[in-house]
Structure 1
Amino acid sequence: MNSVSNIDDPRFRITPVQQMAAACSGALITSFFVTPLDVIKVRMQAQSRITAKNKCFFYNNGLMDHICPCNPLKKNGSNGYYRNVPWFDRPSQFTGTLDAFKKISKNEGILSLWSGLSPTLILALPATIVYFVSYEQIRRSVQDLKKPYYDTKHNQNQPLWISGLSGCLARFGAATCVSPLELIRTKMQSKKLSYLEVHQALQSLLQYHGYKGLWKGLGSTLLRDVPFSGIYWVTYERIKQATAKPTFMYNFIAGCIAGSLAAALTTPFDVVKTFRQIELTEKEIITEPPGKASKWTVKAVIDIYQRNGVSAIFSGLVPRMIKIAPACAIMVSTFEYGKQFFENKNMEYYNKKIE
């Protein structure tokens, strides 16, 4: 059974501005709920020494990855490293996730669970808005080219390949747009610059890497995120078509299932992307002289498999799914709710005009 949707009916179709409002609301809610999970994860990693003092680490607020670099430190003639991320290196002694949640809340205050949220939202919100609005615009444009049939109940028959194609193109565009901003933000963080001094970070990158340097590392990101997006939207739309009237909870569950499947299938790309991105950050972004980072190729996945087996290329699968599944579920269900809200408003306005 195909899902009934008035959102794609030309008479009630929501505008790009309304899509932006729906995506923004979803992004804020998603980051609010998911950020504590990643704060706890990186704090536990710091405790177990998984992340060395002279290494960068990834932080994710449920919407996108952010690199937290380490800074070279010279004091009294000694060499060392420090991170400009105070919450990461706070003292801790946790026995598990629940214990970490209780102790951080009690000893440091409940707001400490949302440490690092503000600066990441500066990039996450625009990236999320661009991604979801692009997906909707591409999907509807391709669908209009096929001249979809609407019956009296506006029962829409949308081929799943449209969702897959739209998701891939939208992610390609959003990642390409955000990549220079992420590199600039990382450079600012490494040099402790304020957002008002963004031009200094931009000048530093351009001086040593040129304009092409603004998109360094993009290839590995695209090779992970584009397939993820295609798999996610095809799976989500397929599940959504199984009911005539998808509710908020139904969309939530569909988003969770789709996110889990996409995360599992793209984990090998995520493993290599993480290694390459950290390597790129340490060699190309934090250091002043231009370095020579390794090129990302599919051969990297094969090399990891040959050295350490299947378990290596799927390392981090469970934590990745635990984090991505709820993030996808919250984001898509709130986005769909926002679309339905604006569609109802458009329908009311349309009916008043024809009365």
Structure 2
Amino acid sequence: MADEVEYEALSPNAGLSVNMLAGALAGITEHSVMFPVDSIKTRMQVFATSPAAMYTGIGNAFTRISSTEGVRALWRGVSSVIVGAGPAHAVHFGTYEAVKELTGGNREGNVSPWLSAPFAGASATIASDALMNPFDVIKQRMQVHQSEFRSILTCARTVFRKEGISAFYVSYPTTLTMTVPFTAAQFTVYEYIKKLMNPRGDYSPLSHIVAGGIAGGVAAGLTTPLDVAKTLLQTRGTSTDPEIRYCRGMLDALRIIWRRDGLRGFSRGLTPRVVTHMPSNALCWLSYEFFKATMRERP
């Protein structure tokens, strides 16, 4: 019988292929489980004109959507996330671990982890978002109230035909402006709490869950205003409002939100966003650390 691999005896960097595969599996798990709450968040952030598409909270949205459109409507667009999240998270975690190793974040006694983690997290985000952004646009177009799309291919073809390739990347600068600080905050908080709870570096699912959940909630709350702007840009093609439909970028989106809803507008979808990210981040980190520990071998 082969000897068991001890988690604490393994190199902190498990190798690019292991990190990427672990990240892909973790990403698919994370996004799939919390997708219905993400759908509610998207709908709450859209500036809708129909009373049927206006919701006062998660419970209200869930009840109304499931009773008028069916529970399956809350899962509309999940296929886009599954297709995109695997490769995007593989790139994300692969880049994160590679950059953290290059910048000394894995070396014992090195003080650089506090600089290494946010730099590695930001680098990972820039790479993965370039891949994920088109899938996120498709996902949100399928999530909105009375969406005409039931297939990601149909959605992609229609958006490309009517709005061109720019529709898939008009929100990319906003996404980066949001997710670079999101990821930097998430990874910094995660690494800090994980080391605080588990200073020996043993395999500790509890520390991964707690650290991941807190990190996700903090990062989600801090970046919600930019997420509202991102949603406006990614769903602009579904709007009948000319100002929203022809919104040109992040600054335009921020001005529209401020003019129409003031400061309150920047907190649209805050609760479902935090509710989504806390358990999904906890699950993501738990899955990532588990898959990484399971797949890697002694050097």
TM-score, normalised to structure 1, is 0.62
Contact 2:77–2:138 (CA<8 Å) still a contact in 1?
no
1:128 CA drift (Å): 2.0
SS at match of 2:14: coil
**Counterpart selection for 2:79 from 113, 118, 131:** 118
Q: Whole-Å Cα distance in 2 between the matches of residues 319 and 143 of structure 1?
A: 36
Change (3 A) 1:267 1:138: same
Matched, 1:259 2:212: no
**Counterpart selection for 1:282 from 238, 245, 250:** 238
Q: Whole-Å Cα distance in 2 between the matches of residues 51 and 319 of structure 1?
A: 18
Contact 1:7–1:339 (CA<8 Å) still a contact in 2?
no
Aligned to 1:28: 28
Matched, 1:313 2:272: no
Contact 1:167–1:226 (CA<8 Å) still a contact in 2?
yes
Task: Specify the code of the residue in structure 1 equivalent to 2:191.
Answer: E
Task: Specify the code of the residue in structure 1 equivalent to 2:228.
Answer: V
Q: Whole-Å Cα distance in 2 between the matches of residues 95 and 273 of structure 1?
A: 20
Gapped runs of 5+ residues in structure 1?
58-93, 351-355
Task: Specify the code of the residue in structure 2 equivalent to 1:126.
Answer: P
1:262 CA drift (Å): 0.8
1:121 CA drift (Å): 1.1
Contact 1:167–1:233 (CA<8 Å) still a contact in 2?
yes
Gapped runs of 5+ residues in structure 2?
1-6
**Counterpart selection for 1:143 from 92, 101, 104:** 104
1:212 CA drift (Å): 5.3
1:250 CA drift (Å): 1.1
Matched, 1:322 2:283: no
Q: Whole-Å Cα distance in 2 between the matches of residues 260 and 326 of structure 1?
A: 9
Contact 2:42–2:140 (CA<8 Å) still a contact in 1?
no
Contact 2:171–2:234 (CA<8 Å) still a contact in 1?
yes
Q: Whole-Å Cα distance in 2 between the matches of residues 214 and 274 of structure 1?
A: 12
Contact 1:23–1:128 (CA<8 Å) still a contact in 2?
yes
1:189-235 Cα offsets, whole Å, 9 max, x none, are 98869667799558636xx64x6565222111111111101111111
Contact 2:138–2:155 (CA<8 Å) still a contact in 1?
yes
Change (3 A) 1:228 1:55: farther
Q: Whole-Å Cα distance in 2 between the matches of residues 327 and 188 of structure 1?
A: 21
SS at match of 1:241: helix
Change (3 A) 1:187 1:325: closer
Question: Is the helix fraction higher in 1 or 2?
Answer: 2
The farther-off stretch of 218-227 and 268-277 is 268-277
1:53 CA drift (Å): 5.7
Contact 2:34–2:276 (CA<8 Å) still a contact in 1?
yes
Q: Whole-Å Cα distance in 2 between the matches of residues 122 and 277 of structure 1?
A: 18
Supply the RMSD in Å over aligned alpha carbons: 4.6
**Counterpart selection for 1:336 from 266, 289, 297:** 289
1:31-67 Cα offsets, whole Å, 9 max, x none, are 343134446x37997xxx985569999xxxxxxxxxx
1:342 CA drift (Å): 2.5
Matched, 1:220 2:155: no
Change (3 A) 1:274 1:56: farther
Contact 1:188–1:201 (CA<8 Å) still a contact in 2?
no
Q: Whole-Å Cα distance in 2 between the matches of residues 309 and 196 of structure 1?
A: 37
Q: Whole-Å Cα distance in 2 between the matches of residues 20 and 332 of structure 1?
A: 13
Superposition pairs for residues 10-49 of structure 1, below 5 Å?
Answer: 13-38=13-38, 41=40
Aligned to 1:85: none
1:261 CA drift (Å): 0.9
Task: Specify the code of the residue in structure 2 equivalent to 1:166.
Answer: A
1:60-111 Cα offsets, whole Å, 9 max, x none, are xxxxxxxxxxxxxxxxxxxxxxxxxxxxxxxxxx99479959x969xx78x8
Matched, 1:231 2:146: no
Change (3 A) 1:187 1:320: closer
Higher alpha-carbon Rg: 1
Question: Is the strand fraction higher in 1 or 2?
Answer: 1
Aligned to 2:230: 273
Q: Whole-Å Cα distance in 2 between the matches of residues 202 and 112 of structure 1?
A: 20
SS at match of 1:143: coil
Q: Whole-Å Cα distance in 1 between the matches of residues 153 and 256 of structure 2?
A: 43
Task: Specify the code of the residue in structure 2 equivalent to 1:29.
Answer: T
1:239 CA drift (Å): 1.0
The farther-off stretch of 26-35 and 123-132 is 26-35
Residue correspondences, number: 280
Change (3 A) 1:240 1:133: same
